[in-house]
Amino acid sequence: MNYEELIESAIEMQNYSYVPYSHFHVGAALLTADGKVYTGCNIENGSYGATNCAERAAIFKAVSEGEKNFSAIAVVGGHEDKDGKPTIEDFCPPCGICRQVMLEFCKKDFKIILAKNPKDYKVFTLNDLLPESFSLKD
């Protein structure tokens, strides 16, 4: 599984986003160290606060199936068009809560791939996006 394929999986996941409030579709695809992929989409809630992001959906799916060794996550996001189809207007960096959840399970060199399409992407490490972080682990 290369980064292009991981991004394609994330884009596919935008179709499953449940976004009646923001109409903003986020897809994520998480790669484990041994090459498995766990995907996620954002799932909103009328309380707003109970909304779950795509990145956390993917991470929680993986952790709840016993996975704890991750190498990369691809993330894409964008508003839907007038027909309700997801778009990608720009890079979609993970929110602060998702960065903190990544820190719980991933090393500082975990790769975060932000994409506009499978050929146009930027790669950051978790340390790039969450420097001087708080953790209770080592």
- Positions in the binding site for ligand THU (CB under 6 A): 19, 22, 24, 26, 42, 44, 51, 53-55, 94-95, 98
Instruction: Give min distance, CB of 119 to ligand THU, in A.
Output: 22
Instruction: Give min distance, CB of 34 to ligand THU, in A.
Output: 25
Q: Contact at 8 Å (CB) between 125 and 78?
A: no
Angle between helix 54-63 and helix 96-105 axes, rounded to 10 deg:
20
Q: Which two tokens stand for residue 35?
A: 């090459």
Residue number, 34 or 48, with CB nearest to ligand THU:
48
Fill in the amino acid letter for 2.
Answer: N
Q: Residue 55: count other Cβ atoms within 10 Å of its Cβ.
A: 28
Residue number, 73 or 138, with CB nearest to ligand THU:
73
Residue number, 50 or 138, with CB nearest to ligand THU:
50
